[in-house]
């Protein structure tokens, strides 16, 4: 998807954008012909967590497309001004009801043409009560030998869990 097609107007002064290639080897940018504002379509950071209760690894079941009904790591977008670690802890709590403390980094995941860059942490659960949030169909705990490999939503989910299972 060409995300730049979604933005038509300069957010500073409201003038319609024009597309212009500013540097020969870089993509076309959305440029405001009135105030010279340039909209850079930066990546979006996503912080995810792998954490295990005594029953298993906590995964949530997506309630929206794409991949509705498939399983993902609890996580979400990092807010500007928030650290990656704060975002991972906040999102995990919002989506599962469980508090965590980060132990280590599992990996970082980025893909050509994709807006999202995903950071996955290995964390330990420090409290709370497991419950799904409104954004998921359910949350569940999976023993390492019961991970639903064929029903994981994304490459990152699979790759991070494979790394986790090998290392921990």
Residue numbers at the binding site for Zn ion (CB under 5 A): 10, 12-13, 15, 32, 34-35, 37
Element containing residue 72 per DSSP (H, E): strand 71-72
Minimum Å distance from CB 35 to Zn ion? 3
Minimum Å distance from CB 164 to Zn ion? 46
Minimum Å distance from CB 18 to Zn ion? 11
Nearer to Zn ion, 13 or 165 (CB): 13
Nearer to Zn ion, 35 or 143 (CB): 35
Nearer to Zn ion, 30 or 106 (CB): 30
Please list, in sequence order, all residues whose beta carbon lies within 8 angstroms of the beta carbon of residue 114, skipping any fewer than 6 positions away: none
Rounded to whole angstroms, the Cα distance separating 15 from 34 reads 7
Provide the H-helix boundaries in 64-149: 84-96
Minimum Å distance from CB 14 to Zn ion? 7
Nearer to Zn ion, 32 or 106 (CB): 32
Give 93's DSSP letter: H
Q: Residue 83, Cβ neighbours under 10 Å: how many?
A: 11
């Amino acid at each position: 998807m060409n995300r730049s097609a979604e933005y038509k107007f300069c957010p500073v002064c409201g003038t319609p954008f024009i597309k212009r290639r500013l540097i020969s080897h870089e993509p076309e940018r959305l440029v405001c012909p009135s105030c010279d504002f340039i909209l850079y379509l930066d990546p979006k950071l996503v912080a995810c967590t792998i954490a295990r209760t005594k029953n298993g690894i906590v995964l949530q079941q997506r309630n929206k497309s794409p991949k509705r009904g498939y399983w993902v790591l609890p996580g979400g977008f990092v807010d500007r001004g928030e650290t990656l670690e704060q975002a991972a802890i906040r999102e995990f709590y919002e989506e599962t009801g469980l508090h965590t403390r980060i132990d280590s980094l599992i990996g970082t995941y980025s893909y050509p043409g994709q807006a999202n860059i995903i950071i996955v942490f290995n964390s330990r659960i420090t409290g709370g009560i497991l419950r799904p949030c409104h954004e998921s169909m359910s949350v569940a705990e999976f023993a390492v030998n019961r991970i639903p490999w064929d029903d994981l939503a994304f490459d990152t989910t699979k790759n991070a869990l494979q790394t986790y299972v090998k290392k921990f």
